[in-house]
Every structure is written in structure tokens, then in C-alpha cells.
A and B are shown apart, each in its own frame.
Chain A
């Protein structure tokens, strides 16, 4: 980056202005007013959780999706008159019936590069990415890391000005991912690839800090850029460097700070009874596990999110919904990048099964409006029964069908565990039957 970028004149490569995108039927807003400028010579990370629309943004820039409003375009410059993109996929997107060589030649063939030249370029790209010897192998003969190398070679061989990467390392194991990351950074630093800029989507905070010059943090539902963070640490970066840790903690803190403002109300819609809250699918077991972990020896009721992620071997993407659910139930609160258990949660950690259920039921009744709502309806009815459909419909007034479904499933799971109400899947009905 420092090597390939001339800081004096930074040409613009990508321009995104006022981008908004809706999914199906113009109900669900995925991206809201996103603005982004990408200059030559930088690696930019889009960091956010699932549902933050970062992949949608990437696809808008790739030209795969036409955004509902606004523009996403590549800007021609003096040294890049005809900017182009290539993309590396999370799932590799290799054609299983084509050999490594044929997969790499895919884009060249479509560009009508003469056969001999295409072959030479493809072989050069395969060599560059360290796969020489595997030209005639089929993808199914390769390991995950090697497959992603093929995906990378296929992208590099078409000489794109911009390389788009959609969670490129998240399907790989930790070691393989690390090797691939380092190799890519080396190629970039030594300017052995003609790419002008890289845009990478990730939900892995450390990965973003390791690779990027600039990180854009996205909120979810709808996706907005909530923070922009410059990373000025010199490459190669060291995870154990205190400055690195500070940055990671800072990003954790920013992501949690945002959720405090955002979680209770979304979309600016303020429903009368407060049920319009998307509840992530978090099992009561993982909640109990998280409470026990924070309550336990090394942390003693107070743990930084990045350390928790390390010790539980969880991605930030997995840890956040769990921590936020604890916060929602007032079992924990965020202080900066630290998760602090409340006294109730510490009692929960020490309690037996029945005490735990009672505490959980109490927390649900006090802090989850949807649970209160369902319970009230069941109490009011003479039969003490109500179809689940009715609540799903109510939720759909405030959120998309998928979210409504997920939210109701989550509430069902929690309500059953706490024995606040019962649910019969065949009939799709809630009842008070075996609840006490």
C-alpha cells in the first residue's frame, strides 16, 4: 500500500453516492444512504454483521445488482481509462466440471483473448498464486485454501483495476486463512499484481485491522456507515502489538456503542407497544454459556469483547447477538468494549435449573415487550390459546417476513425455556397449557 500508492495524487476509483436499496416489494430497506469513495492504492474493509447490507453494496459496485436509488460507479482516471472489477467469492464459486486452468481462463475466454495468449496468462496467474502443478486438477481434488487460490487467480488474471472480495477467508480454517491473507498482502505490497485497489467485505474485526488501510463500520437493519476508521499501523501488522489490540477494542466499542442507540427502535418506527424489535436467534444454552464464561475465573463478571471472542473461539458476528441479548434482558451492560454482568446475571450463574428459569422468565416479562404481549393475549382469552400466525402478522407490520419469522421463533424458544407459554408446532398455536 505505502509502496504502491503515491500519496500526492490519489485518483478516485469508485464513487458511491446516496445509495439506497430495498429488497422485495419495497418493504425492507437493506442499505440506507451509503456514500463511499475509494481511491487508488488503498485496501478498504466493509465491516458489519449479517444483514448490514455490506454484500449488497459490494454487488452494487460489481454491477450485479442495480441499487434502488443512488449510484455506484467506477471512475475512469488518466492511468485507468476503462476501470474493471473482478470478484472473489466466499464460497469460491468454482465450476466443478472445469479444471483449475479452465476456471482461471473463464474470464479471459469471455473477453475473447486469443487462446494461446489466454493460456499463457492463466498459467502465469496460477504460478503467481502458488498453484503450479495443479493446472489440470479439478476443484474437488483441492483443499479449501487451494480452491480459494484458484478463485483469486481467476480474479487476478483479468487484470482488474478493483478487486472485490466477499468474505473471502471466512469459509477457511484459521491457519489457511492466515496464510492466504499474508500471501495476498505480500503480492499487493510488492506490487506484483496490477490491481489499483481492494474492497473487502468481512465480519471479522481482526482481519479488517490486519489488512485494511481504512475500515467502514456498518450498522444493520438498515445498513448505514456508522464509523470510518483509518488504520495507520505499518505492514506487516502484528496481532499482539498493543496498538493493534487498542484498535480492535476500539472497533468493538464502536460496534457496541452503536447497538445501544439502535437496538430498541429500528426504522424510526415507534410502535405503541414496542414489539417491533428484531430478536436474533440466540439459544438459551449459549446465553447461559456466555454468562458462565464471563462469571468464571479469568473474567469475574467483566470481560472485554475481543478477549471473549478469543477465549470462546467465536467470530464477532456470532458474539454480538449473544452479548446484545444479555444486554436486552438486563443481564449485562456494555462499558466501552467491555461486557459487564449485572447482579441478576451473577445470581443466574450460581442458580440451579429452576432458579435460572425463574430469573429468565422474570427478565423476559420485564424487558421483552413481545413476550409480554403474547402472554397478555393468552391470559385474556378464555381458551388461553392463540394462533401464532396472528403475532407473525403483527410483526410483519414493522419488519420483513423473514425477520418476523425469526423473531417469533426466538421468542418461542425463550418462552418455552422459561415456561411462560407453550407452543404446538403442528397447530402453530401458543397456549398456556403446560406452562406454569
Chain B
């Protein structure tokens, strides 16, 4: 590779600049794509700020010709949520990583929020946002976006925080020795270092977001029913009217949309973010994206984007220069102050808990709590049994795929697509089956909870199996280790930490999904499985805030308890005993 000495010069000759900026074929393609996206954005944005009455005047039509527009609205919602989550992540996670005190509050908060049933909050958020933008669709839009946001923001922030915490010390020291200001440090070190993990996490979150789009576009709180135009509500209406064709149309549209944003948005970003991977050895396989290749080959685009860079540089130029040689004070502050701070945090948390508890308990009796806990136990049994069943199914398959790189490569996109696919779509089919064969909803509705989350187990097992070192596998082959011995001594120890991560995510997701999965309907057939999920769902429909609050509280306690008492110890055990490297 011959180094381009010219680029090192401050300014290229004018004629050269002219030649370089003459549009080429890639410019045309890129501009068409970008202009198209721009038009679509404004078209969808129009609808989002219309007065609230338009929702009643133009109800969701089960007509395929409306689907592209609905898809557009849904996609805009999802990207708005993704943008919000990203901004939230960059601000909050950076704060948590840089300031010890902020970290003390933010990290446990994120940890709890990650395991909170998001759907249960719909009741409160819809009311809140509709009050914020009275008489406008924007309020409902914001509520829907907020639901998607809550499904993404916490784990994105957590992953970014963990990236920041793992920045190599020598790089941090280099930024200090060479006097980089906090903003510059963020741009040169924190942001690039955290980008690959953040992009990957955003992709996974986007997949997870579909589940919540479907659940949040058609919302019923008390006696208000709001239906936002979108794929989710199209699906909801189709289910209500028992229209199979419309269900299929919605599913098809969804597939197309997932494919489109994967190709146009995520692939280019993944290909671009590859340069920020923290590695000192050039990797052989780099992610490819045709869109990214086109964008990179354009000549006009860099010129169009140049003002953005200039603005950034201008902002940096105004920022004050930090004094050199200012050591970070690594010592703790005065113990009394430290103690006061801890006391303040504990008091604030206890106070908040007490206040919420009291306002909820004003409307409830103690036997309500007992009921909720008993129902939670039912849901817990479901979650446990389902995790065991899903593991029994996916662990062998995942190991088989993971040990065959060629298959893993081929199946990876498929599995990703399946994971993105909202499981709620399949609910009607299960309901039909249960009604036809007269089955017990208490048992047969349960599998719906894990439909969407089982993929985490599969993904992680595949990753774990492909990480088993080749020499270990060869050694096992040499000594003819087979059958149960092979599973016990090679496969299971190899995948264990990965499996626990997957199972943890799957179990958390299943709790969350129980809110939509324990109540399912097809037309006027409505099936209910007894459990905490249906308890919350029915309280939401009835507008019974106190019971919704109680249900959320109990679910939080169960999910957190599950994590602390089962998954964390298992994970620690795996880390200690079964690390292969």
C-alpha cells in the first residue's frame, strides 16, 4: 500500500479539488437513496404531528395499499426510539463511568431497570405523554416511542458503561499526558472504543424493539383505546377481525422492513464501526456492506458532510484548554463525607420505596399482595419449565451449529431474522389451536412466553460452541471421547458461561413477555392463563393503577431475585470453574 503523501498537505490544489468533487456514478446512487429516505421521513413525520382526531377520522384500514405508509410510520417510531436510546446511552453511561458518585446511583438503577417489565408501564406512560401533548397524535406517538426506548436504552447504556470501564489504562494515561480535555477525550477515546459494542447492542435492541412496537401501537387503557397507524396496529386489527390474509400481509411487510433497514442502515454502520475494533492485529474477515462501499466511493458526499465536521472543530476550538499536569485525585474524599453520601442515597431509595408502597397500598388489601405473589409463583413455574424445555431443544442444536463454522455462517442471518421477528404475530394461531382442540390455556398459552426469547439461548450456545478451542476438540477426538462423556467434559463446560448469559436474558424476556402472552385473543375468542402477566394485563385494561403498580412491584422482585439467586451464582461458578482460556 503506497502512502498518499498528498493527503498530508494542508490544502490540495484547486484544480485537483475540482476533479475530485465531480460527481461519479456512486454519487448518483447515494443521492437517490438519501433523497428517497428524506422524502419518506417527512411524509411519516407529517402524520406524527397531526391532531389527535385524525386517528378517529382515519382508522387503520386492512388494505394492503396502506401498508407501506403504516410500515413507514412504524419504522420512524423505531428509529426515533433508537436515536433517543443512543443519546441517553452516551450521556448517562459516560457520566456513570467518569464520576464515581454518579456511577453509584446510575449503575444499580440501570441494573434494576433492565429487569423491569417494560410493558407494565404502558398504563402510566400513555397517560403521561397524552397529557404532555394534549390533542395531538404526538402524545401517543411519544408514549409508543417511549415503550420502545425503555426496551433498548438500559442495556445499551449498560453495555457502553462496561466498554468505558474496560478501556486500557495506558490509553487513558496517554490522553492525560498529552492534555486532552474531557470533550476531546470523549471523542478520541471513549466514543470510538465503545462504538463496536454499542452498534452490536443497538442491532439486537432493534430486533427486540419489534415485539414492543406490536404491543404498543394499539393501546387500551381503561376506557380509552388508541390505535396509531403502523404495522403493529394493522396486525392488531387483523387479529380482531380474524382476517388471515391481513395477518400474512403484515408479516410480509415486517419481513421486508427488517431486510431493508438491515441492508440500508445496520450493515453500513457495522462495516464502518469495524475500524474502531480494539485490536492490534488486522483481522482477516471484515464485515461487508454494498451500501457502505457506495457511500465510501462517492465524491460529493464528503463535500456535503464537510460543514458538519467544521462545526465540530469550531466547537472544539472554543473549548478552554485544560492545564497540563493535573493529577487525578485517586484518594477517597473524607470518610465522614463518604458516609453522609451513602446515607443520603440509602435514605432517598428507602423513602421513594415507602412513598410508592403507601400510595399503592391505600387502595389495596394485604390479600391482594398474597394473590399477586401466588400468581407470580405460577408464572415463575412457567418460566422455569420453559427455560428447561428450550435449553433441551436448543443446546444440542446450537452446539451442532457452533462446531460447524460453515453452517454457523449460513444460519446466522436466519437466526437474527427469526429473533427480530415479533413473536406476537404467532399468538392468533396458538389461540385457534387451543380453541379448536379445547386445550387448557393455563398450559398451552405458556409457550408463547418463550417464543421470542428462546433465540438468546441459541445465539449464545452457538457463540460458545464456536469458541471451544480446536486443540481441545482434536484432543477429545484423539482419545475417542464420545457420547455423554463428550458432553460432560467438552461441550457443556465449553458453552456454560455463554449458556448462562443466554438463559438469563431469555428468562428476563419471558417474564416481560408474560404480560402479553398470558392473555391472547383471536377475534372474540379471548384466552387467559392464570399468572402475574395476565394479572397486570387485565389491571391495565381495567385502568386499575393500584393493581398495575402492585403487579409491577412483585414482578420486579421476582425477576431481580431470579437474577441474584440463580443466574448470577451460576455465572460466577462458570467463570471460576469452566473458563477455557
Contacts and interface: CB of A to CB of B under 8 A. Distances in A.
Interface of A: 59-60, 62-66, 68, 74, 84-87, 89-93, 95-98, 101, 106-107, 109-112, 115-116, 119-120, 123, 133-141, 147, 154, 158, 426
Contact of B192 (A64, A97, A115): A97
Contact of A66 (B275, B277, B278, B327): B327
A140 B281 contact: yes
Contacts of A120: 10
A154 B177 CA distance: 11
B275 A68 contact: no
A-B complex: 9 closest residue pairs judged by Cβ atoms: A63-B325, A107-B178, A66-B327, A93-B170, A116-B10, A93-B174, A87-B177, A97-B192, A110-B179
Given A87-B177, A106-B178, A133 B3 contact: yes
Given A135-B5, A137-B1, A137-B3, 14 more contacts: A63-B176, A63-B177, A64-B176, A66-B327, A74-B325, A87-B174, A93-B173, A106-B178, A107-B177, A110-B179, A111-B321, A134-B3, A136-B4, A136-B8
A110 B325 contact: no
A96 B279 contact: yes
Interface of B: 1, 3-5, 7-10, 168, 170-171, 173-174, 176-181, 184, 188-189, 192, 275-282, 317, 321, 324-331, 577
A63 B10 contact: no
Given A84-B324, A89-B173, A116-B10, A141 B317 contact: no
Nearest to A115: B10
A280 B151 CA distance: 50
Given A63-B325, A135-B5, A140-B280, A89 B170 contact: yes
Nearest to B189: A95
Contacts of A426: 577
A62 B3 contact: no
B171 A95 contact: yes
A123 B326 CA distance: 29
A116 B9 CA distance: 8
B269 to A, nearest CB: 15
A112 B184 CA distance: 11
A120 B178 CA distance: 18
Contacts of B321: 110-112
Given A62-B177, A106-B178, A112-B317, A98 B330 contact: no
Given A63-B327, A87-B177, A135 B281 contact: no
A141 B171 CA distance: 19
A137 B7 CA distance: 12
B327 A65 contact: yes
28 contacts: A62-B173, A62-B177, A63-B324, A64-B173, A65-B328, A66-B329, A66-B331, A84-B324, A86-B177, A87-B173, A89-B170, A89-B173, A93-B168, A93-B170, A93-B171, A93-B174, A96-B276, A97-B275, A106-B188, A110-B178, A110-B179, A112-B317, A116-B10, A119-B9, A137-B1, A138-B275, A140-B280, A426-B577
Most B CB atoms within 10 A — which of A65, A106, A115?
Answer: A106
Given A63-B325, A136-B3, A96 B278 contact: yes
